[in-house]
Structure 1
Amino acid sequence: MTNMFGFVLYLAALSLLTGSEAVSQTFISPGEVNITTCPISYYGQRYEKVFVSLDANRFAFCFGGAFSAGLPNSCILLSGGSADRGELEVFSRVIPFGSGVHKVLPDLESTGECVNVIALKDNKEAEIQQVELGNFGAQAVLGIKTFPGYTRADVEADSQVNGQTVSKKTFQTSETSNGVITDISGCRLSGTVFKANTTDDSEICSMVTCGPDGVAKVVSKCGPMQSCHKGSCVPSSSCTVVASAVISFSGKVLKVPDRCGYTLLSMPGLKVHGVFRERQRKDVSFLDHVIVKLDGEGIEISVKQSRVRLNGNVLELNATAQEFRGVQLSKDLTGVKVKIFTSSHTVHVLFDGDKALIRVSGLTAAVQGLCGDWRGFSGDKVAEFSSRGCEVKHEDPADTSIDCEAAKKWCSHLKQAPFSACNKLIDPEPFITACSNTLCKYPAKDGLQCKSLEAYAMLCSQTGSLKMEEWRKTTHCSAQRSCQDTFCSDHEFCSQKYSGARPRCLCRALFASKYSSDNTYGEPTVCKHKSASVSLAKCLLADHGIDSSILHLNDQACRGQEDEETHMVTFSFNSSNTCGTVIKVNDSRIIYKNTIMTQNISTDGKVYRHDMLHIDFSCFFTQPGTKSMAVRLKQSSVDQRITSGAWRYNLTMRGYTDPMLSSPIESGTGVQLDERIWVQLKTEGLDENLINLVAQSCWATSQPSPSGMLKYDLVINGCPNPVDGTVEVVNNGMGTYIVFSFDSFQFSGKTGDVYLHCKLQLCVKEGDRCVPRCNQHGRWRRSVTSGYLDENPVLITMGWTS
């Protein structure tokens, strides 16, 4: 409390001194006061109107409408009393704010901006009672002053939200005649009001803090490896499934040997199953989808990469949890979340299309399944979710691109910063073992290196000891685009061609193997009653860099029809719609012949990124026939070493087929069109603390000369060519090496050699002066022009040949 009279005089004096004019409004009560020019945040909610009313006993200020007893309104109710000189009048004004209140209410974080002054007068213009609502940003203050016309001995101030009292104070008129102020700041959360700068710990598992910003925050009382169950913090056990590895609650690592369905967790009334399938190798399995069954409730939830089904019906989920007979389901960027409440536990299942995290609160006894009390793979196999022949073992030829020692070194990142901050809470060894087992067997595809670290990072982020962006920056693992909205058929799986690329469906190895021996893209021709059709697998075409949407028959208007469920693309013609079919008579037999071909690339621009396709298919009247052709592009890398002047150093340019730069492109390496290529420009012999390497430009030509007539830009002024969305540049001007990547291509109308050229310069390191400035679209914003050691750039060339 303080002397309010001096406070009011100070404000009025400030207004006069600054020349500011008050905004005023006069009316006979009751009335509505517009405070748009000085809005008030009353217990966490902003208001721009005040409804004023009074009777013989009450002077009311409400924010949700005129006061009416019993209605859930937000009001400040003051005792009023009758004036002794007739009818009353309400006068309001808004004036600028000065300083001084912080000495009385030190919890105010912001300075005041303005004050709404609402004065109650009698019909002779004598003030009886004055109220001030002060704007302090997200906070607010209430000032009260009474005058001789006020007839009561005290003033009662009742602050209400939704009809419930938040704060009630009584002031004697000996105080209010001098003026008092009080804080009316706070927060609201789920209909509950909290006072500003307070903490409410009435909840068993959490507490609510209300800060000066008017925002209530819920803070869990449970530890990093605990969860709340029935109002208590209980231990939480975690089981992780990534690729074919299951890391059990006890930390044991199990390797699923085949492509069958297994029970991951079995508890009374609840089972969680995992179904494993192959991807690009037949001898390595991956977790494909998760099935949750509640026997007593008759619930079966199937969670796949892009579809969630409840008892066979597809669900549309979002970040807001939906409840289905006691099971909560939601979906966000981290994956699909299933929350099940049992009589003794709470079970959380998270599946993101690649890995599953199963957490059980209050787990004190052993549970069955691969995550718990393991009975062996035969005991936990589920015939209901296992396809015929899933147990058959396959042996693919060893992949010579795999470097097991390098893979183990990569997996050991989990013991280094920033992961090391989590090592005391979660043992990294089982995750390192699972990571190494997978990467020593499966090639560096589908973003698998980063996904092998993500499982540990997910657990660590839940303990609060690791932020996802920290480890991604350290390991150069960019966030993978989600496959949640990409539907793939049963013979496909969703992944990315390279880090940062858009998700797409790739062929599973067992499906693709049916066609690889015959070098075909799909099923044989079907001939029927002067008609013919051919069904090609979209994923097989995509694996060879062929976009099925640009294929057509002899008549370009005849395109393939894609089946939404199987993703098979069917091309067909008949006698009524020949689609340019050539009809011949040979030995009294009618022959129908057409061709599936790539769209005429001469109109597509300067370069193209798909293989040319030409598939003839024909039918005799009763006998089918098929012929297919494929064109492959081969590449070779050329290392060039340059020694320059007194600054003696070596400069190397080399191409790779993986983002980890572990699989160099050698002579004879087969590379498809539209396949990702990474190029590293690396120096040796330079002091990286003093000098940075800058790639000014990189371009491709169809001739060995860098000034060849056919030219295609990849890097312009140190930035990716903005018209080619496949180009990415890393570390340019930031060290002694540069990496850029792009999708391979061929010049339109050409089938010969393609040469890559780069202009490079050395730059004296000072801050970020050497780094080219590119905007978010890759366009150049500021060139690096100062600090170079060499005035003339170095030209280095690499080529690939068909």
Structure 2
Amino acid sequence: MLLPLLYLFAVARLADAYFSILVDNNTQVDTSDCPITYYGQEYTTVYTNFTGEHLFVCFNGYYTPEGNGDCIRMPNSDNKTNFVLNNNNDPSYWTYLTDFVHSSVSTVTNNMTCYLHFYFTSSMALFSMGSQSVVYYYGTPPMFVSVLVNGDVVENVFGVQYVEVLSDTSGCRISGLGVKPGTSRQNLETCSSMTCSNTSIASMKSCGPSGQCDGNGTCSVKGLCTVTGPTIIDFNGQINSVSDRCEYTLLLDQNTGLTLKANFLERRRRDVSFVDSLTLDFSDSDDIQLLQGHRVMVAGSPVTLNSSVQTFSGVDLSKDQTGVTVGFSVSGSSVSLFFDGTTAQIYIETSAGDSLDGLCVDSSNVSSSRLSSDSSCQDEYVDPADDTIDCAAVTQQCNILKSAPFSSCNLHVDPEPYLIACRSTLCKYPSVDNLRCQFLEAYVKACEKKQVNIQNWWTAAQCHHPEPVCEDKCSDHEFCGDIHGINDCRCRAIYASQYTEQNRLGGPTVCQDNTASLSLVGCLLKENAIDYTHLHLNDKTCTGVMDPDSHMVSFSFSSDGCGAVVTTNNSQVIFTNAIVTRNSSSDVITRQDEVFIEFSCSQPKPELQNVAFKIIDNSVEIVLQSGEWTYSLTMKAYSDAAHAQLLDPKSDVRLNQKIWIVLETNGLDGNLVSVVTDSCWATSDESSTSTPRYNLIKDGCANPDDGTVQVMGNGEGTSNSFSFNMFEFSGSGPSEVYLHCQLQLCVKKDNNCVPGCSPVARRRRSLRYRRGAPALISMVWTH
């Protein structure tokens, strides 16, 4: 290739398509007919000068040892050179040279249009290829050409004897430094990694907005990250906010996988979130959670802390009345974390390299830092604007951070991010729960990290020292806030809305078997100034029970207890009660609103289905189904009053012998219903409607004409019995006697299921069972 390329240079000169000059020291040449793009800059002038050993071809002025020139340096001890600018119009000529360059330099794709040629003992040319350029060099050893950008050597081009050397000089110019296409270079002073793609697209990675470079290529992240309310102020002082109720990465150590997570939840409004808890997630040891109420969990179990430091899995933990302090390390970096339930502050004290990520490193990466897998946490709510908020007054109150005594720290800690956090939150969310003062306190604590202590700021800001945190553990649907002047567990807005939007305090009623229960929301009771210990059912001895974890207050009663009122409605049995306020008759005053919450349950009224049995000298049992009620009905015959001697097929029953009949059910609630034997009679035929017929029980009472009949327990429970002396029908001789009984179920109330059988006037009281299709059960004896 050597001879043809040099030959083409010679042919071009003979073709009179160039201009040629002899260059000696300090020569400036206009090259606008062949502009050169050199590391991102286009030049139309070249400057040449000699140093006795080298020729410098520069584009932005003559070379000086202390200068910042864009230059090409090559060996030349003759202190002179010939210069040719070639831009002839022969397409085949440029096609050949273009193919030559493409085969030699993989990063160049444009076509050549002209070149600048410097020739003497050796030969150097700059090929112009639009937005790209290539340096060509040929000479006798030593072949040593240097490419400079801003006086900095980007590349030293070496070659061997009689070999042409080409190098792409398009490149990228990043922070004033040149980077060859398809390569990267490091700047130790700025800790930056600069990359130039094959197509000369520049990119750079540095310590990041919060990083600091130590000048030796090592990044350090030093600073304070504050998370207060919905706002994140990152290490670099940049600010962003969380608008949903998801979990986010605050800090991630990519080397070890250690992650500091923050979970955000709503409080009084559904559309404003607050940092609610923190989790230190270790890849190889137990997680540590910092929760509301200064509570700490290690591996899911609570730990008791005090002001003395305790160590768990290499993490230092301590607690005082202001909050919990945690000390740990990431990649050799010391990290201090403080959390008081509203504000989290993370301080990195030493160099941490460039392996950190998360919202504390760059608060703008909110979407990529979201961790929650349940997308419902991203649901958006829009609550009505709070018309009690005066945003102008809020702004003035927050601006105190620029006034004394806070201003003494303004030069050390920029107050603007904290002002924005204070204004943006309190212009939408009411200034309750000591919230404005907590934003101010976050700034004070940031100042303390800079060794600036702001004295007596509580008085100047008209703040009071925070009340002790809620002594009782607030449940997941509660947060610690002000209730009527004291700190207590308030309901979170989203949870409470399912009740408040329906003007309820709890519910719904839960019905099971013959019991009813209703749970009231403890935090809603507190917010409405209702003391659950002053509530009871109709029976004052039946009070509510509070669950220690959920703080739900449950009231329950059975159909026959706690003053329940039992009624019937068509086919339903309804039992009702009410939660009311306990007021003593001796009370002169009361500070509670009266409470009346009625609740009830209903069940299908059970019925005995029509059944008939013909079993000689034995007992009979059948299982019946009526709606939700499943029960069995049994008729048995005994030869003794104690119901111990069951009559069976082998038993002899004599005329005038007393026998006892027991009618019994199983599976019915004896507190709710009773079994009433409505009538019993005998026939000589298996049909219950045949004649002759002899009545033993009629309308629930013994036949007054038969002194041997006695009825026991009728209508008092789920079983009853009667007795009579055995007989046979006259004139029929020994035969079968069929005994038939009809039964009803009665809903109990005030014992009015018991038939009123008077010895004088055998009229019954009104029973609470439905007449109509009573159950029929039969027995038969053979004499």
Q: TM-score range by the shorter chain?
A: 0.3 to 0.5
Structure showing greater Rg: 2
TM-score (norm 2): 0.47
